[in-house]
Amino acid sequence: MDLGLRGKRAIVTGASRGIGRACAIELAREGADLCLVARDEALLAAVAAEVAAFGAKVVTVRADLATETGCVEAVAAAAEAFGGVDVLVNCAGAARMGSVLTLPVEVIDEALQLKLYGYLRMAQLVAPHMQTAGWGRIVNIAGGAGTSPTAGNMPTSLANIGVLNVTRALSDALAPHGVLVNTICPGITNTDRARDLARARATREGRDVEEIVAENGRTVPAGRIAEPEEVARVAAFLASEACSYVFASALYMDGGSRRATP
């Protein structure tokens, strides 16, 4: 299927690792030009080289998207390089964890600043470009924790449920302008961060990392955790011409873990 992404101008945040990196590569594979945004300049440069191998035009922006300045700089760089923005994939954001009984509210603030407020600011900044063009796609990577709160995941859960609410509101505001806004909610995914956590646990318990990863996979109905590339392929579809009538949806890619219906 031709997704119609050739020549589209895309921003991918959190592009240096994990799902963000996979999304950037998949969009480049489909012919999009990329503005890659993250905080680690060396990792960004490595992903830029991978993206450029597909023939994509690519610019990188080292920015902290927990700040308004960082968001402004990222969108300005994309608009200057490409003359506009057609696609935004919001993927920046990780949160510290801790028991809800002892968790400092400052830890929740950190998660909200980067993931919720950062996503919203980026969407607000690209919206005028998309409204002018009469076409656009915003794909938010929110994580399944938004609808699965636990005693230990409040920072990420609150940020992610906020993203779902923002997705609904942005879709209502932008749908008349031909802009589709949707969310992907991955469960456990084989990202660099997930492997870092598995490695730390393996060290504590004197076990093999792959054993921990496989064990995590056995906790979900699918029997394995997701690969970043699987999420990226869905993100590419939601960012494409081929996706023409999906509005304000949340697509769960959690291997069947979610218990709620629908």
pLDDT of residue 110: 92
Q: Write out the two tokens for 248.
A: 């304000």
Strand pairing partners for 180?
A: 137
Class of domain 9-189+226-253: alpha beta
Confirm if 104 and 154 have CB atoms less than 8 A apart. Answer: no
* pLDDT tens-place string over residues 79-90: 999 999 999 999
With b for 16 or more beta-carbon neighbours within 10 A and e for fewer, the 120-129 pattern comes to: bbbbebbbeb
Full DSSP string of 91-147: ---------TTT--HHHHHHHIIIIIIHHHHHHHHHHHHHHHHT-EEEEEE--GGGG
pLDDT of residue 93: 78
Q: Phi, psi at residue 190, to the nearest 5°?
A: -80, 60
CB-neighbour burial class of residue 184 (10 A; exposed 0-12, middle 13-18, buried 19+):
buried
1 pLDDT exceeds 90? no
* pLDDT tens-place string over residues 52-62: 999 999 999 99
Among residues 141, 139, 56, the alpha carbon closest in space to that of 93 is found at 141
65 pLDDT exceeds 90? yes
Percent of the chain's residues with pLDDT above 70: 100
Confirm if 6 and 32 have CB atoms less than 8 A apart. Answer: yes
> What average pLDDT does the chain have?
94
Q: Would you place residue 97 in the very low, low, confident or very high pLDDT band (cuts 50, 70, 90)?
A: confident
74 pLDDT exceeds 90? yes
Pairwise pLDDT comparison (150 vs 18), residue with the higher score: 18
Among residues 113, 161, 171, the alpha carbon closest in space to that of 139 is found at 171
pLDDT of residue 118: 96
pLDDT, mean of residues 210-227: 92
98 pLDDT exceeds 80? yes
- Residue 176 contacts by C-beta under 8 Å, 6 or more apart in sequence? none
Q: Domain extents for the chain?
A: 9-189+226-253
pLDDT, mean of residues 210-214: 89
- Using left for φ > 0, alpha for ψ between -120 and 50, and beta otherwise, residue 51 falls in alpha
CA 222 to centroid of chain Cα atoms: 22
Place of tokens 């660099």: 192
C-alpha count within 13 angstroms, C-beta hemisphere, residue 14: 27
* pLDDT tens-place string over residues 134-150: 999 999 999 877 777 88
pLDDT of residue 193: 86
Confirm if 18 and 10 have CB atoms less than 8 A apart. Answer: no
158 pLDDT exceeds 80? yes
Beta strand spans in the chain (E):
9-13, 33-38, 58-62, 87-90, 136-141, 179-186, 250-253
* pLDDT tens-place string over residues 234-253: 999 999 999 999 999 999 99
